[in-house]
Structure 1
Amino acid sequence: MGLKKMKVAVIGLGSMGKRRIRLLKHFDKNIEIIGIDSKKSRIEEIVEKFGIKCFTQLSEINDVIDCAFVCTSPQFHGDIIHDCLEKNCNVFSEINLLDYRYEENIFLAQEKGKVLFLSSTPIYKAEMQYIDKRIKTEDGKHVYSYHVGQYLPDWHPWDNLNEFFISKKETNGCRELLAIELPWIQNTFGKIVNIRTIKRKITSLDIDFPDVYLIHIEHENGNVGSLLVDIVSRQATRLLEIIGENTYIKWSGTPDSLYQKNIQTGEIQNIDMGEYFHEQGYDESINEFAYLTEIQEFFSVISGGKAKYGFSEDKEIISWIDQIEM
C-alpha cells in the first residue's frame, strides 16, 4: 500500500502525540492523520493547530486504520497496543517503561501479520550511529562515562508535575532516562552482563523514588562504563566520554558537539553530524530529525525492512532496569 492511501491514528495528544503529528505531516503531507485522546482540551488544541479529525477513543472510528502511533502515558501502552492489533493496525509505540502484555502483543502481531515497532530514538541519532561504527570497527576494549540528567520539574514546565507519568514510581523520570539510554548503550558497547548500582534521593521533591542513580556496567566483550542518571541537574545534561588505547570521543548531547582525537596528529576534531532541526520549547539537545528518522524506519519495516530494535530486545532492557531499581 502506498503511503498516500494510509490512515494513521495518533493515540495520546500530549507532547509526544503532537510531535508525531507534526513529523508525520513533514514526512508525507498526504497521510490522513486522526487524533485520539480522552481529554477534550487536548482535542480542541489539536483540531485548532493541525486541522485533523479527532475522537475520544479508538472504538469510535469505523474506518480502516492502517497504522497507530501509541503516544499515551506508558502505563496504558500494553492495553492500547493490544486493541490496535485487534483492529489490524500496524503499531508504532513510544517507549513503554513496563513490559506489561509484551509477550501477548508480540504473538498477536505475528498472528495478525502486523508490524509492532518500538521507538528507541537514540539508535537513530547520527551521533550514536557514528559512535557505534567507531566502537565496533576498532580493536581493543573501551571505557565510557555518561551523565544524563535534568531536574524533573523542568522536563515539561507547562504540565502539572503531579499529573505527569514521570512523577509516578512505576514510570518515574529516572526509569524513563534508563529506558531511553540503555538500548543504544547495549547495542554499541555489547551485551550487558553485570550491573552495580548506588542510588539516592537528594532533592526535596515530593516523590517516592530515588532521584540519582550511579551505575557501573560490564559488557560481555570486556567493555565497561559508568552511567549517571538523575532528575536533579538544573542544567539539562548529556555528557559522554569514551576512551580506549586508540580512542578518545566526547559528546555533549547536540549534533555539533561530537569530538574525537586524531591519535596520529594529536588534534581534537569536530565531527559534522549533518541535518538538525529543533522544536521551540525543548532543550537544545533534542534533535527532531532523529524522531523523524525512526518514523521513516517504521514505514520501511511495513514495506518489508528490518527494525533496529524491538519489543523482544526491550524486554531484556526492562529487566535490567528493574534490577537497577531494586
Structure 2
Amino acid sequence: MKTLRVGVVGVGSMGERHCRVYQSLRGVHLAGVYDACWERAHEVAARYETVAFPTLEALAAEVDAASIATPTQTHAEVAIALIERGVAVLIEKPMAASALEAMAICEAARRHGVLVQVGHIERFNPVYTELKVLLETVHPIGMVFRRLSPYAVSNQDADVILDLMVHDLDLAMDLVGGPPSRLYPIGRQIFSDAMDYAVLAMEFPGGEIATLFASRVTEQKVRFIEITAAEAYIEADLLNKGITVYRYTIPVYTNDNQPVKYRQEGWMERIGIPMAEPLALELQHFVDCVRTGRRPLVSEQDGLRTMQLAERIRLLLYHGLSPMSRLSRPPVPAEARP
C-alpha cells in the first residue's frame, strides 16, 4: 500500500487533534503543517515530529491530501488554493463563511476533479451510526436535537447557527433524506452581537417535524437526539455514547377479586455502542476515499446543502423576519459577560 502524504493547515486545538490522529493511521505520513502563526506551527511540528512549512504553497507541493482547520472566514480561500494544486481536502465545519463561498469550493472541486470532504464529525459518531440502523425499521414523526455548550469553550468566530446548530441541520437532513419545506427560527443575542441561543422548528415534505435547540450560553455540554416514531421513542446521547429505545406500552387492568389495579407494560432496550473515536473514523474514511476515489460520506455537495439551509435560517433571524428577532433585548451588563 502506497503511503499517503497528508498535511494539516491550521494547527489550533482542532488542527492538532488531526495531527495526532493522522500519526496513528496505517499507511499515512504526516508530511507537515502550516499555520499563519509561525511559532505555533513550529511548536506542533516539533511535537509530532514533522515539518512546519513557511507557506501554504510549500505544503501543497509536498502532500496528497490535507485537513483545513483554520478560522471559518479563511476556509474558502485555503480550500480553493489547495484544490487548484490537486490536493484533496477535508474542510472542518462549517464548510465556509457563506453559501456563496461554499459554491465556489464546489465549483473548484468539479473543475479540477479533486476530492472534498466536509468535517461533519457527528456522521461518524458510533451512536449516530447505530441510530441510523434503528431508523431502518421505524418511521420518525418528530425529532428533537439539543446541542448546548458553555460560552467560554465555544467557537466565537461564528454564531451559534454555524458553530453548533450546523451539525444537527446536517443530521436532520441526512435522517429524513432531504431539506425541509418550512422553517420557524427564533434566537437571542446574549454575550455577543451574534446569535448565542437559537431554537428552530422545521417541517419536511413527508410531514416529519424536527426541533433544534442550539446554545453556547448553557453551563452544561449536551449532545442529544430524541425521536418519536409510530413504533418507538428513542433517546440517543451522542456525548455519553448511549441509545435507549422505548417500545409501545400496553395498559393492563387487573382485579383478581380485589379493587381494580392499573399498570403500563412496555419494553425498554439499551443499545450497545462500539467504542471508537469519531475523529479517527472520519479521518480514516477521508484517507480511504482519497486512495480509492470513492465519494465521501459527507461530500462538498452535502456541505453546500447544509450551508444553504444555515444561511436561510440566519437571514430569517438577522433580518427581522422571525418573531423573536423583532423583540428588543435588554443590554447585558459588562460584569455579566464571560
1:245 equivalent in alignment to 2:244: no
Pair 1:90–1:73, CA change in 2 (3 A): same
Contact 1:149 1:231 in 2 (8 A): yes
Distance of aligned partners of 1:108 and 1:321 in 2 relative to their CA distance in 1, 3 Å threshold: closer
TM-score normalized by the length of structure 1? 0.84
CA gap of 1:61–1:307, structure 2 versus 1, over 3 A, is closer
Taking a change above 3 Å as real, the CA distance of residues 27 and 255 of structure 1, as seen in their structure-2 partners, is farther
Q: Say whether the 8 Å CA contact 1:148–1:230 is kept in structure 2.
A: yes
Once the two structures are overlaid, the 10-residue window that deviates more, 18-27 or 56-65, is 56-65
Residue correspondence of structure 1 range 1-326 to structure 2 within 5 A: 2-4=1-3, 6-28=4-26, 30-61=28-59, 63-95=61-93, 96-98=95-97, 99-138=99-138, 140-155=139-154, 166-168=155-157, 171-191=158-178, 192-201=180-189, 203=190, 205=191, 207-254=192-239, 256-263=241-248, 266-276=266-276, 289-302=277-290, 303-326=292-315
Whole-angstrom CA distance in 2 between matches of 1:217 and 1:19 = 34
Q: Secondary structure at the match of 1:239?
A: strand
Alpha carbons of structure 1 residues 141 and 51: separation in structure 2 relative to 1, 3 Å? closer
Partners of 2:28 and 2:119 in 1: CA distance: 23
Name the structure 2 match of 1:158: none
SS in 1 for 2:241: coil
CA contact (8 A) 1:141 1:222 kept: no
In the TM superposition, what whole-angstrom CA distance separates every residue of 1:137-170 from its partner, at most 9, and x where no partner exists? 32x4421222111122133xxxxxxxxxx324xx
Give the Å deviation of 1:239.
2.5
Amino acid at match of 1:122: E
Identity of aligned residues (%): 17
- Partners of 1:119 and 1:62 lie apart in 2 by 20
Question: Alpha-carbon deviation of 1:29?
Answer: 6.4
Aligned-residue offset at 1:113: 2.7
Q: Distance in 2 between matches of 1:272 and 1:93?
A: 31
Q: How far off is 1:89 after superposition?
A: 0.9
- Which whole-Å CA distance do the structure 2 matches of 1:91 and 1:97 have between them? 13
**1:256 partner amino acid:** K
SS in 1 for 2:223: strand
- Unaligned 5+ residue runs, structure 2? 250-264, 316-338
Give the superposed CA RMSD. 2.1
Superposed CA deviations along residues 16-65 of structure 1, whole A, max 9, x for unmatched, are: 11011111111126514201012123123213321211023212348442
For residues 25 and 61 of structure 1, do their structure 2 counterparts lie closer, same or farther at Cα, with a shift above 3 Å needed? Answer: closer
Paired residues of 2:127 and 2:241 also in contact (CA < 8 A): no
Post-superposition shift, 1:183? 0.8
- The one-character-per-residue Cα deviations of 1:148-204 (angstroms, maximum 9, x if unpaired) are 11122133xxxxxxxxxx324xx2244211222211111103422111011123x3x
Distance 1:8 1:71, change over 3 A: same
When residues 61 and 127 of structure 1 are mapped into structure 2, their CA distance, relative to the original with a 3 A threshold, is closer
CA distance in 2, matches of 1:128, 1:252: 9
User: 1:290 is matched by which residue type in structure 2?
Assistant: P
Secondary structure of the residue aligned to 2:174 is helix
CA distance in 2, matches of 1:143, 1:94: 29
Structure number with greater Rg is 2
Q: 1:318 to 1:105 in 2, by over 3 A?
A: closer
* Counterpart Cα distance in 1 of 2:96 and 2:108: 20
Given that 2:159 and 2:195 are in contact with CA atoms closer than 8 Å, whether structure 1 keeps it comes out as no
Instruction: Give SS of 1:167's match.
Output: coil
**In the alignment, is the contact (CA less than 8 A) between 2:227 and 2:234 conserved in 1?**
yes
Amino acid corresponding to residue 92 of structure 2 in structure 1 = E
Q: Does the CA contact (< 8 Å) of 1:125 and 1:290 recur in 2?
A: yes
**Which segment drifts farther, 45-54 or 306-315?**
306-315
CA contact (8 A) 1:152 1:173 kept: no
Query: How far, CA to CA, are the matches of 1:86 and 1:212 in structure 2?
Result: 38
Q: Is the 8 A contact 1:21 1:33 kept in 2?
A: no
Task: Name the SS for the 1:241 alignment partner.
Answer: strand
Paired residue type of 2:278: A
- For structure 1, the residue ranges without an aligned partner over 5 or more in a row are 156-165, 277-288
Question: In structure 2, what is the Cα distance between the partners aligned to 1:141 and 1:270?
Answer: 19
Residues 103 and 256 of structure 1: CA distance in aligned 2, closer, same or farther (over 3 Å): closer
